[in-house]
Structure 1
Amino acid sequence: MNGYIFLGIAIILEIFSTSMMKASEGFTKMLPSVIFIIGMGISFYSLSQALASIPLGIAYAIWSGVGTALTAVIAVLIWKEQLNLYTVIGIVLIIAGVAILNLKGSGH
C-alpha cells in the first residue's frame, strides 16, 4: 500500500481521536476514552507504516500540520469554538510550512 494512503489514514484517525478526547471530558466518559486510545494507536501504527516509504521529516510535518489545521477547523464546526484572526493565520502558516517542506524538503 502506498505510504501516502497510510499517512491519510493516520491523519483521519488522529483528527477523529482528538475529537474523542474532547468528548471524553477529561477521560471521565468511558466510550470516547476507549475510542480515543484505539484510534490513536491505529493512527500511530499507520504513521509507522507510512514511514517505510516517506521520509520522517516530510511524513511528520504532513501528519502534524494537516492534523492540527483540520482539528482547528473541526473545533469551530463541531465543538463551536471561536474562530478568530489568530486561528486563521495559524492555520495558513501551518499549511504554508507543510507545503514548503514538501517542495524543498530533505526527502526530495
Structure 2
Amino acid sequence: MNTYIYLLIAVAFEAFGSACLQASNQFTRLWPSIGVFVGFGAAFYFFTLVLKVLPLGITYALWSGIGMVMIAGAGWVLFGQKLDFWGFIGISLIICGILVINLLSKSATH
C-alpha cells in the first residue's frame, strides 16, 4: 500500500481519537473513552508503517499539519467550535506548508 495512504489512515485514526477525547468528557463516558484508545493505538501503528519509508521529521510535520486541519474541521462539525479570521489564516498556512513539503521538497524521501 502507498505510504501516503498509511499516513492518511494514521491521521484519520488520530483525528477520531481526538474527537473521542473531547466526547469522553474527561473519560467519564465509556464508549468515547474506548474510542480514544482505539483511535490513538491504530494511529500510532500506521504511523510506524510510514516511518519505514519517510524520515521522522517529514512524517511528523505532515502528521501534525494534516491532523490539525482535520481536528479543526471535526471540532467545527461535531462540537460547534468556530474559527475566527486568523484561525482560517493559520489553517491556510498549515495547508500551504503541507503542499510545499509534498510538491517542492526533496526531503520527503529516504
With structure 2 as the length reference, what TM-score do the two structures score?
0.89
- Structure 2: state its 5+ residue gaps: none
Percent identity (aligned): 39
Distance across 1 between alignment mates of 2:29 and 2:87? 28
Letter in 2 for 1:35: G
Give the alignment's Cα RMSD to 1 decimal.
Answer: 1.4
What TM-score comes out, normalization by structure 1 length? 0.90
Distance in 1 (alpha carbons) for counterparts of 2:92 and 2:16: 21
Using the TM superposition, give the Cα deviation of residue 63 of structure 1 relative to its aligned residue in structure 2, in angstroms.
1.0
Q: Which residue of 1 aligns with 2:37?
A: 37
CA distance in structure 2 between the aligned counterparts of 1:46 and 1:30, rounded to whole angstroms: 25
Kept after mapping to 1: 8 A contact 2:16/2:35: no
Using the TM superposition, give the Cα deviation of residue 105 of structure 1 relative to its aligned residue in structure 2, in angstroms: 4.7
**Equivalent residue pairs, number:** 108
* Structure 1 portions without partners, runs of 5+: none
Runs ≥4 residues deviating over 4 A: none
